[in-house]
Structure 1
């Protein structure tokens, strides 16, 4: 089995994926990594859609929120075309709609808003206390060594992000999975990123889709794959609150307030190691039992 790229090599591949080709002032194209996956990873197409939108905005305006819908599975063997609509350029804000298409059909669309820097009220709830440092939390390689039978699930996952669960990954085998209403994960891009704030926002968008729906499964002690459920992201929203670097550790503090009708809702807050609240995410996913 071919080992997936890791570390800086994987990060460089991610940067290549985010470096879209410009066709005209409002059209861009991008590719997917050839990992053998059956569909495009949701965080990838969301990150690419944000790249496309951001490239049509004055660089002095940084993204502060995005809202996207996953409409169809993406084909990883085909390029994705991104078409950007300029909704408005105001004195302080710019709003864009970025639509991803393959085979003439929309697979994802996003609205994103960008703002010039401004001063104003500033507060946030404190970060969770008593959380172990990322260096003291098992790596994904540690989990794979413990559960080698689930290696294919891990190998199918993106490797550009160092993900360290304070609890258990969603692919731990049935019977070993504990129910926990709170899910906390340390994350960082596993290499060096350029200083461009748009790239860091896109990288965080990419990473934010990796584990959020795990919070729904964690609530019930359920697992991904055989003996558990299969799922797909339905929509994704992200708010950027403060400056950050996606290649530095952040804590993804997530929970699921509701699950019903084969859908699960999860929300997460992201904190730097020094406790700054840098971003918030909300996602709903489709969750069906295997064989259903």
Structure 2
């Protein structure tokens, strides 16, 4: 496992601080606040620590306040129900005594049943694409000095965009995005860890899908952007150290909010997870 990936795995490895209470560190990715995917991934890890022999099949969370990446985050897990097949947990994330995220996760014992799925959309082979880090190095001379480290930093999750745009000079495009994702280096055979890592990664590049038709990016002047909520459904087992295609679209934007949907596919076409998110995409008027 590469060092940068090990740091992310350690970030998700929460410390117990009491009955069903856990604490996680925060990381600074160069954003003004804690990356939402980090809080989601840690919240899922906290809930998973209170469930035995069942894996998460769905997660629904609301971002309540921006997090401070210079402070740890406390996670309180509430055991809502343990049934014969399903277990439900509620998680509250806090910093400085204030809630920054609340969410519910459902876990299911392994079960066989009907099978069907959407076909995987067409996408170029990831080996033919440049990574976000490589693209960031090409764009770094256009970025303010304080942003260059963010564009060129080593990443535990390698992202290879299909048809990448220039975030400093965005153009109007259809509300559809594709990216290939994988963790850098081999990972342990722990399905909980792989789910938490996908949860972490699923927040990257998501809300930008609803900005595409408007010729805006998260770097555009006078734009206030933030994730409002996030949901994930896990359909099948997968590995985050192998390529996954993240296919996203945005059916609607209105009222200063953009709605986004996504599907994760393995290279051989299996649909392993689906996501939705509503985001604040507010253009401030002068």
Give the aligned length: 282
Contact 1:25 1:56 (8 Å CA) reproduced? no
Change (3 A) 1:209 1:153: farther
Q: Which runs of 5+ in 2 are unaligned?
A: none
- Is 1:194 the counterpart of 2:196? The answer is no
Which residue of structure 2 aligns with residue 248 of structure 1?
A: 242
2:57 is aligned to: 64
2:87 to 87, 94, 98: 94
1:114-154 per-residue CA deviation (whole Å, 9 max, x = no partner) reads 0001010000010012x110111122233223322237557
**Alignment partners' CA distance in 2, 1:35 and 1:136:** 27
Quick check: 1:144 aligned with 2:139? no
1:172 to 167, 175, 181: 167
Q: State the Cα distance separating 1:266 from its structure 2 match.
A: 0.3
Contact 1:182/1:219, CA 8 A, preserved across alignment? no
Q: Contact 1:29–1:80 (CA<8 Å) still a contact in 2? A: yes
1:236-271, Cα deviation, whole Å (9 max, x unpaired): 000000010111100000000111111100000110
> 8 Å contact 2:260–2:277 — kept in the other structure?
yes
**CA RMSD, aligned part only?**
1.9
Aligned equivalents of 1:32, 1:173: Cα separation in 2 = 27
Give the TM-score taking structure 1 as reference length. Answer: 0.91
Report whether the alignment pairs 1:49 with 2:28: no
Q: Are the aligned partners of 2:167 and 2:220 in contact in 1 as well (CA < 8 Å)?
A: no
User: Which of 8, 30, 37 matches 2:2?
Assistant: 8
- Can you give the 5+ residue segments of structure 1 that lack an aligned partner in the other structure? 1-6
Report the more deviating stretch, 147-156 or 211-220: 147-156
Contact 2:175-2:251 at 8 Å conserved across structures: no
State the match for 2:115 in structure 1: 122
Task: Report what 1:260 is aligned to.
Answer: 254
Task: Verify: 1:17 aligned to 2:11, yes or no.
Answer: yes
- Greater alpha carbon shift after TM alignment, 219-228 vs 49-58: 219-228
User: In structure 2, what is the equivalent of residue 31 of structure 1?
Assistant: 25
